[in-house]
A and B are shown apart, each in its own frame.
Chain A
Amino acid sequence: MTGHMGDAADQRDQEDEEVRRGQEERLREVWAAPKGWRYWSAVNNTEVGVWYTALSFAFMLFAGVLALIMRAQLAVPENDLVSPSFYDQAFTLHGTAMMFLFAVPIFEAVAIILLPQLLGARDLPFPRLSAFGFWCFLIGGVFVMGSIFFGAAPSSGWFMYPPLTTDETYTPGYGPDIWLLGLSFIEVASLAAAVELIVGTLKCRPPGMRLNLMPLYAWYVLVVAGMILFAFPPLIAGDILFELERMFDWPFFDPSRGGDPILWQHLFWIFGHPEVYIVFLPAIALVAMIVPTFAQRPILGYSWIVLAAVGTGFISFGLWVHHMYTTGLPSISLGFFSAASEAVAIPTGVQIFVFIATLLTGRVIYSVPMLFVSGALANFVIGGLTGVMVALVPFDWQAHDTYFIVAHLHYVLIGGMLFPVAAGVYYYWPLVAGRKLSDRLGRIAFWLMFIGFNVAFLPMHFSGLAGMPRRVWTYPESLGVGTANLISSVGAFIFAAGILVIVWDVLRPRGNEPYAKRNPWNAGTLEWLVEMPGENWGVRSIPVVTSRYPIWEQPHFIEDVDKGRFYLPDAEEMKRETIITSVLDGTPLQCLRVPGPSFMPMVAAIFTGAVFIFTTFHWWAATVVAMVLAAISIMVWLWRGTALIPEKPEKDVGLGLKLPLYKSGPHSVGWWAMFITMMGDATAFLGLIFGYYYFFTIHADFPPPATVGPGVLWPSVAFGLFAVAWATALGSRLSNQAGRVGLARALMAAGAVVALAASAALLWGPYVTGLRPTAHVYPATVWVITIWTAAHGVAGSLMLGYCLARSLAGRMTPEHDIDISNVALYWHFVGFTVIVAVATLAYVPVLT
């Protein structure tokens, strides 16, 4: 390695300290976060990731306070410390915040901080998208949580079962709307982060890092972001149906008009169960980084744990019905889901045994992170074992919706997620702040948390089976669970004290405590290249990686990186740059110019948030204005910040390697982002289609007899027009590529017009046949699928118009065609959507 390095060193004179100092100054300046009030325009992963993490923790503390209020209320039977209506809001927001504002965002936040470091990249490919996600999260989270101060918070539990939540009679006010719209907004942000993380993992790895050399954390990020991509869209589809029922009385969940409340439960849990693993796997990923470090050896059974993580991800999509064992589904499906629920314990077991085996074959150094890992293991295994119990249908019939489940889920989530996250905080704090946290406070925090947690939650297994249902604001003394509840309440406060110790340890003034030494835990993975305190550039030069633990296994590794002997040791053109590699084997493909600070993500998030918030309160005019402003701000952001044509086609990135500065098509990050986003989009669409076929299955007649559907004529016309628009999108990409710019522009213009006509024709079908969406679930379902498809046509038209403008403005040329190449990809997905929609709405009723 070092011999090979020699040539590059000669070229760049990396051995000359003066040269290096110049490079460092340039890098520092290029990657510096802005100062003063402009600081909030920063997009660096180090800044955004830290804001994101801090905000998720703040929401966690808020939700924790709500939990303490609930425990105080339940400490004694027949207590009246808080009103039932406050209690209902408290448990709803507690669950909602812990899931949507802490557990998922903390994964994204930590991944945004760690992933570039772990991959030796300077940043993620779309820093502004991360910033956009953060601002969405801030606005949506404050909106949802703030509602409790106005007594207007959602109050029907975090899974919001209709008809309780859809019918204004039972839930007057804005509570459910705040939940639905606030969280839909945050879900969009989560999806944005998932896209960012998937593309980051696949395309921003250092040269040489094949998939099977990736750090385990990156594997878990890939799996979990993939799960978010397929789990959140069904929930978004459910949210759409839900909000249409609540606002416009479209009867998706109303049995008197053909709807079914159980459809929501399916859509919610198709999301909700993978969600549990979306929360759990990233925490296990932290453990997978910590254990090898303190065992001072590479992980034992790398392929086992990777396969187990991937397997868990897949199986987790087949378990959702175990939340619905008491809804009266047929025994045969209960049996299937029971089997799948038991099966998921196997890959989980593999992961745990990989850790134990790694410890067994290593020389273990004990430390605060390891203490939290052990605590996590002890608690999580209890949660896993009770999980095996409740996966058995007959036992679940007893345990379901009782405090036994409350105990089980907290053992899984606190044992499987919060304890590992605490381990991660102690382990990675030096990476973020350059200093270690206190060992002594860490131990105190651990024991308070460990003891408090078990004192609080172990008795709940008993309370539940002794007859205490969940979500009760009080219970009679005669139930005999008073003592158990008092113990639980005491435990909860001890647990909270432990959390406070961590908060204190993190926030306490440091004075002039010295910085930690470099690589303070003697770890083997790339993120520990970071200097103490860290530099904004992330990594001094982007290394060639040939092993899983390069710091341990590649000689002189840190020195070579520090001396800039690898790629991109300089920022000659004063631009932020990182290296893009191929998906499978990490071959360098491109030197990507990464965008720098901008307020546009914040502005776009504010307007997008306004759309959701105004909709909640039915301020329609304001909603439309906000929608237009959001669209404009996103366009401006894209126009000014993406697909920029570089000043030269390629540059020397070091080690004699020249890489292009511009790439389009499947080698580019933008193409992958579009592809992945549209996979999520297609999944949401299939959620709506699932709704159609669900009703088709449960009703003997669907469409109901004597109901006229959208007809065959207009959907067929729309289908033909969409086919033309699709062809023009593809044709304009090909002709632009072939240098026939005039033809390409004509096709874009034609495509934009035809796409609008196609959307109009599609909407015309149900309109002209007079389908009233409030009459029955059939017309409502037809309309929602039609509108979804037509909206995609309109968006496709805007995109073609945007490409035309780019071409006319000289920002898109035959050689630089990212825009049209991504839009053509978008149109393939529109094509798929149209085929499925038209077949379902127009042809299936005719054929059956």
Chain B
Amino acid sequence: MRPRISAISALMLPVLSGCKGAQSAFDPAGVESERVLQLFWIMLAGGTAIWAVVIGLSFYASRGKTGPYSDRSGVRLIIWGGCVFPTVVLAGLLYWGLEIMPELRRPGDGPTIAVSGERFWWRVAYAVEGEPGVVRDLPRGGIPSANEIWIPVDKRTEILLSSPDVIHSFWVPSIAGKMDAIPGRVNRLVLEPTETGVFNGACAEYCGTAHALMGFRVVVVPEDEFEAYLEAQAQPAAVTDSPGLELFLQNGCAACHTVRGTPADGDVGPDLTHVASRLSIAAGILPTTVENLAAFIASPDHLKPGVEMPAFGVLPEDQIARIAAWLGTLE
């Protein structure tokens, strides 16, 4: 069976498959990452020059010079090279670094999205009118999703971060720097993408065995597409009558997962109402295909060591296939 994906995602696929740089600070597609990369190149150039001078000087001092210099010139070197020069350079650099901070953390003018880092996936809730749309420690509601965040291009989207379990860190290097998701606190990060496309994110704070496999996708689209996406995500599940759904309910999947429009209303794992519309499953590690869904249901720990979801490999293969097939229809 061919995996079904939405039209927008289909357009994205080439981007995704060739997305070597989709998780790289060297491939900036956001205001913050652009500014920081520029800062980095300048510091790298300056640093290389300073390194070359210092090492050249020490080489000259120990092997190159023809005779000892006077103590006076040595002291002058200490004063100018060790004190004055670094003080001036560091003061300038500090001024620059501090100056760009307020701009990068300016409040958003786009949507607000609550993201909760949970072992080992990302709970997402888009704020809607009247519902702040935030998770766990914050008021609940909004439009739920998981492991994939859509944001409009050229808008400043506010990401509110927290966690119900341990500390995680939310990082989409191509768009901005990282921010921790800390139990008991709500942190704020502003994403201002300058290009459309799919970007990869990762958890940057060690959070347990599956930390290395706790990724997510950020999909940057024009604002109207963003609105259309939100509207689609707000709808209940597409297929609410299928043998797969019955098996899903019978085998206890609903204890952890919600599929809106069905009796499944578990709150432990990701909301699966539109799981097939997402680019990846298992927190960014596998492309969304029916085969991958089936494989993950059968032995999640094999694909993602440390994952919290129990294995369902005891179920007959055809049952797993039917559940996976049904999930594959949930666009």
Contact = CB atoms under 8 A, between A and B. Distances in A.
Contacts of A331: 101-102, 105
Q: Is the interface of A mostly helix, strand, loop or mixed?
A: helix
Given A84-B305, A161-B167, A331-B102, A361 B58 contact: no
A43 B137 CA distance: 57
A472 B212 contact: yes
Contact of A360 (B74, B83, B91, B211): B74
Interface string B193-211: 0000000101111111111
A465 B24 contact: yes
A336 to B, nearest CB: 10
Interface in A307-361: 308, 326-328, 331, 334-335, 338-339, 342-343, 345-346, 349-361
Contact of A356 (B22, B57, B305): B57
B167 A466 contact: no
B252 interface: no
B7 interface: no
Contact of A472 (B65, B70, B75, B211): B211
B82 A469 contact: no
Contacts of A476: 285
A85 interface: yes
A453 B169 CA distance: 29
A170 B208 CA distance: 7
A306 to B, nearest CB: 13
A300 B68 contact: no
A848 interface: no
B238 interface: no
A379 to B, nearest CB: 10
B51 A300 contact: no
Nearest to B97: A392
B111 interface: no
A157 B208 CA distance: 10
B101 A334 contact: yes
Q: How big is the A interface, by class?
A: 35 or more
A398 B25 contact: yes
A87 to B, nearest CB: 9
B63 A466 contact: no
A589 interface: no
B78 A357 contact: yes
A393 interface: yes
A473 B208 CA distance: 11
Contacts of A469: 171, 202-204, 211-212
Interface stretch (A253-261, A530-538, A830-838): A253-261
Q: How big is the B interface, by class?
A: 35 or more
- Among B87, B212, B305, chain A packs the most CB atoms within 10 A around the CB of B212
A393 B32 CA distance: 12
Interface string A545-582: 00000000000000000000000000000000000000
A358 B204 CA distance: 44
- Among A83, A164, A396, chain B packs the most CB atoms within 10 A around the CB of A164
Contact of A395 (B58, B78, B97, B213): B97
Nearest to A161: B167
Contacts of B39: 392, 394-395
A642 interface: no
Interface in A447-485: 465-467, 469-476, 478-480
Given A364-B61, A466-B24, A393 B212 contact: no
Given A370-B62, A400-B204, A345 B90 contact: yes
A393 to B, nearest CB: 6
A427 B77 CA distance: 27
Nearest to A370: B62
A378 interface: yes
A88 B209 CA distance: 7
Interface in B32-56: 32-33, 35-36, 39-40, 43, 47, 50-51, 54-55
B117 to A, nearest CB: 12
B274 interface: no
Given A388-B90, A474-B212, A480-B24, A255 B183 contact: yes
Contact of A349 (B20, B33, B83): B83
Contacts of A401: 169, 171, 178, 204-205
Contact of A361 (B59, B68, B94, B171): B68
A402 B51 CA distance: 23
A300 B26 contact: no
A356 B119 CA distance: 51
A335 B83 contact: no
B158 to A, nearest CB: 13
A255 B185 contact: yes
B187 A328 contact: yes
B24 A357 contact: no
A478 B161 CA distance: 27
Contacts of A396: 177
B315 interface: no
Nearest first, the 9 A-B pairs at minimum CB distance are A255-B184, A397-B177, A353-B82, A392-B97, A472-B212, A328-B187, A467-B23, A357-B74, A359-B61
5 contacts: A167-B166, A261-B184, A328-B180, A356-B58, A465-B25
Interface of A: 83-85, 88, 156-157, 161, 163-164, 167, 170, 255-256, 259-262, 297, 300-301, 304, 308, 326-328, 331, 334-335, 338-339, 342-343, 345-346, 349-364, 366, 370, 374, 377-378, 381-382, 385-386, 388-389, 392-398, 400-402, 465-467, 469-476, 478-480
